[in-house]
C-alpha cells in the first residue's frame, strides 16, 4: 500500500511544471495542467485525496472547491465520497445572495464569494484547491461551517500556509 501511494505521488510530482516570472516577475508558477492531461495522474490525485479523507475525515458532508482549480478536483472527490460539492468563486461570478471575503495571494489580493445558502451552519466541510488560498476558511467561518481541514495538491512552504489555516489541518500531496 505504501509503495502504491509513493508511486502515485511520484507520478503527480512528475506532472507539475514550473514557469519562472509568471504571472509576474519574481514568481515561480507551479502548473498542474499536465496532471489534467494525463488520466493516470488525475486518477492518482483523486485516489490520494480520497484515501486521506476516508482515513481522517469520514464524517465530511461537503467538499468546497476554490475557483478555479478546486473545481477540477473537488467534484471528482465529492462524487467518489458520495457527498456534495460547493463552489467558492471570484467576486461577482455567482447569482443570488452571497457572502464574500478579501484575502492575500502570493502575488496580490483577491476577493472570493459563496452563495449564502450553500453551506448550512454546522456542516462538516473540507476545502480543496491546487494551492492554498486562505480566504476560503474565512468564508466558511461566516457560514458557521465546521472546517475539518484544507487539501491541496501543492504546498509552497515559503508561504507558510500551514500557519495561516491554523487551527485547521493542511493536507498536501507535494511540497516545494
The catalytic residue positions are 69, 106
DSSP state of 119: S
Peptide bond into 68 cis (omega under 30): yes
User: How long is the chain?
Assistant: 176
**Torsion angle of C-alpha atoms 85, 88, 90, 93, degrees rounded to 10:** 50
- 17 half-sphere exposure, CB direction, 13 A CA radius: 10
Rounded to whole angstroms, what are the CA distances from 49 to 6, 68, 106, 129? 13, 18, 24, 11
- Residue 146 in grid coordinates: 465546521
- Residue 38 in grid coordinates: 494525463
Amino acid at each position: 500500500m505504501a509503495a502504491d501511494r509513493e508511486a502515485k505521488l511520484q507520478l503527480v510530482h512528475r506532472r507539475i511544471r514550473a514557469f519562472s516570472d509568471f504571472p509576474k516577475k519574481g514568481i515561480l508558477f507551479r502548473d498542474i495542467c499536465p496532471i489534467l492531461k494525463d488520466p493516470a495522474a488525475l486518477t492518482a490525485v483523486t485516489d490520494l485525496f480520497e484515501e486521506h479523507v476516508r482515513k481522517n475525515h469520514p464524517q465530511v458532508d461537503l467538499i468546497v472547491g476554490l475557483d478555479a482549480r478546486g473545481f477540477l478536483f473537488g467534484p471528482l472527490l465529492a462524487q467518489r465520497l458520495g457527498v456534495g460539492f460547493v463552489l467558492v468563486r471570484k467576486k461577482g461570478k455567482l447569482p443570488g445572495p452571497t457572502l464574500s471575503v478579501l484575502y492575500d495571494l502570493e502575488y496580490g489580493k483577491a476577493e472570493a464569494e459563496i452563495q449564502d445558502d450553500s453551506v448550512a451552519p454546522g456542516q462538516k466541510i473540507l476545502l480543496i484547491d491546487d494551492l492554498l488560498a486562505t480566504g476560503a476558511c474565512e468564508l466558511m467561518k461566516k457560514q458557521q461551517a465546521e472546517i475539518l481541514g484544507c487539501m491541496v495538491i501543492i504546498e509552497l512552504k515559503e508561504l507558510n500556509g500551514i500557519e495561516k489555516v491554523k487551527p485547521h489541518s493542511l493536507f498536501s500531496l507535494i511540497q516545494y
